[in-house]
Amino acid sequence: MNKPNNISVPVRLFCLPFAGGSYYSYYPLEKHMDPRIGLTPIDLPGHGRRMQEPLLGDLDDMCTDIYDRIRDQLHVPYGILGHSMGATLGYLLAQKIIDRGAPRPLHLFASGRQGPPVPSRMKDVHLLPKPDFIKHLQLYGGIPDSVLGEKELLDLFEPILRADFKALGNYTYQKETPLAVPITVFLGTADTTTYEEALTWQAVTTTKICIHRFSGDHFFIFDHLQDMGRMISETVLTEAGLPVPG
């Protein structure tokens, strides 16, 4: 990534994974980010570099795990980026950070996910028999085709995906004081998340949200890394009071 976590950077961007995702999921974004931003992807237990740890099946437990891993890094100005499940985790993480009295994020980037008030479509999906579970993933774009097309990969990721979808399906939004944090929403034009559902992010922030639509399905982000990297970099640098190139 841009900078190892133990090296000082002017700004950080904590990246939270989609269901089944890991640290490596955000690696393609690295070369499109301003080098002053330390991209810091997070692995959940049972994912990526933490594959040997027990999986979690609850978003609040995931959020607590993330907070415990990053709390000593919050003295540097930072933003949060989350795609799909990671977007909901980003909201919960921002709430926890503020509740704990730690420095609040400069910005939350919520990608490919409806606002927290919209009920999840994933309830009980984790309980489906394998053929139906895979069909659901294909229907809703819940996992990249590169995984669905490889039996060995799918066998490896199935328990991880089931745990993540259990967490998503069991999540119930609890109304809280809106965040005093700006939110930008990224949305795929062919994703199952609708524009109207994206608008509900407005309910969880005191500032006016900004929505950017990109062509593509649930994993549109990988087709628009350059534009997303530029938008995120410009936003975070501006809010950190740093000069923006060009």
* 244 within domain boundaries: no
Residue 149 domain-assigned (yes or no): no
Q: Is residue 73 part of a domain?
A: yes
Residues ≥6 apart with Cβ < 8 Å to 101: none
The CA distance from 15 to 206, in Å, is 23
CATH number at residue 25: 3.40.50.1820
pLDDT confidence of 75, banded at 50, 70, 90?
very high
pLDDT band at 2 (very low <50, low <70, confident <90, very high): very low
What tens digit of pLDDT does each residue of 145-202 get?
A: 777 778 788 888 899 999 999 999 999 999 999 999 999 999 999 998 999 999 999 9
Per the domain annotation, does 131 fall within a domain?
no
Residue 100 binned pLDDT confidence (cut-offs 50, 70, 90): very high
Euclidean distance between CA atoms 133 and 227, whole angstroms: 33
Q: Judge whether residue 6 has pLDDT over 50.
A: no
Distance between CA atoms of 123 and 200, rounded to whole angstroms?
A: 20
Length of the chain: 246
Is 56 among the domain residues?
yes
Q: How many domains does the chain have?
A: 1
Which tens digits make up the pLDDT trace of 34-63? 999 999 999 999 999 999 999 999 999 999
Q: For residue 90, is it within any domain?
A: yes
pLDDT of residue 3: 43
Element counts in the chain: helices (H) and strands (E): 7, 6
Q: Express each pLDDT in 210-245 by its tens digit.
A: 999 999 998 999 999 999 999 999 999 999 999 998
156 within a domain of the structure (yes/no) = no
Question: Does 128 reside within a domain?
Answer: no
For residues 44, 50, 52, 56, the Cα torsion angle rounded to the nearest 10 degrees is -10
Q: For residue 10, which of 246, 239, 230, 179 has the smallest C-alpha distance?
A: 239
Residue ranges making up the domain that contains 19: 11-117+176-239
